[in-house]
Amino acid sequence: MDVGDCLAKIAESQVGTRGDLQSGRATLYGYLLATDVKLGAFGPEFEKTGFGEKTDRVSLLNPGANDLSSRFHLVTQQPPPELPVIFRIHNWCAAFVDWCVMQLLMNSPHATSLSLAHRPKTALAWGLLEWGKHKHSNCDVFYGTHQMPDRGDIVVFKFHHTGICVEPGSKLHPKDFHSVEGNTTSGGSGNQGYKVEKRLRHLHQLKGFIRLPPRHRLGDYNISPRIADTA
């Protein structure tokens, strides 16, 4: 079970999530809850809508759960088209990466030696590089633009943005790669967006990337070579 592929698949499963629609709002709140930052820090709108620091996770992730009428509707009833709602959320790209790693550790804990206790919880894109360098993460951290990230690597960009690499390199442009990112748009050069999307990025945009550790192998436990050879 490859840890990079597992993480990339989790990121890919979220493509299309939109934070500007009410249907995607619960998912977006889930991303934010994966950080160690208080929700109010992401924008003053949280305080105005009741999603403040004291909001419990059940009501936050299941809006309207106590309203019986919201859970039932006629089979023939056609839902009205959903209109975008202007709701400013500040910089949730790192929160999206934190959430993906958390899902990996909860659903495929044997794919990596990273423990749930030491998962990333930062709300800062560049903070992921600092987290990766910590001894408890056991990650490999690569700086600069000299090496192409692999599938499943956490990529951190010079313009304070982050995502997860899903397609390293291409035959036409070997220094390009695709990453899945939160807080982005469908195209263009901006990173301040409202959705999770797959984006084409360039090697020269990288500040660095983080590679999660694979699961421990027999030799990782300092077992003597004589015993390891007979295992």
Question: How many domains, the chain?
Answer: 1
**pLDDT (average), residues 38-60:** 55
135 or 126, which is more confident: 126
> Is 148 within the bounds of a domain?
yes
> Is 221 within the bounds of a domain?
no
Mind listing the pLDDT tens digit for each residue in 175-214? 999 999 999 988 765 556 889 999 999 999 999 999 999 9
With tokens 């929160």, the residue in question is 95
> Is 207 within the bounds of a domain?
yes
Pinpoint the alpha helices (H) of 40-80. 45-49, 57-61
**pLDDT (average), residues 68-75:** 46
> Is 93 within the bounds of a domain?
yes
Interatomic CA distance for residues 185 and 172, integer angstroms: 24
> Is 180 within the bounds of a domain?
yes
128-151 core/surface letters (b: 16 or more CB in 10 A; e: else)? bbebbeeeebbbebbeeeeebbbb
Domain of residue 108 covers 3-61+80-211
> Is 73 within the bounds of a domain?
no
What is the identity of the amino acid at 181? E
- The closest of 12, 24, 48 to 164, measured between CA atoms, is 12
Percent of the chain with pLDDT over 70: 70
Q: For all residues of the chain together, what is the average pLDDT?
A: 80
pLDDT at residue 87 tops 90: no
Count of H-run helices and E-run strands, the chain: 7, 6
pLDDT given at position 122:
95
pLDDT at residue 158 tops 80: yes
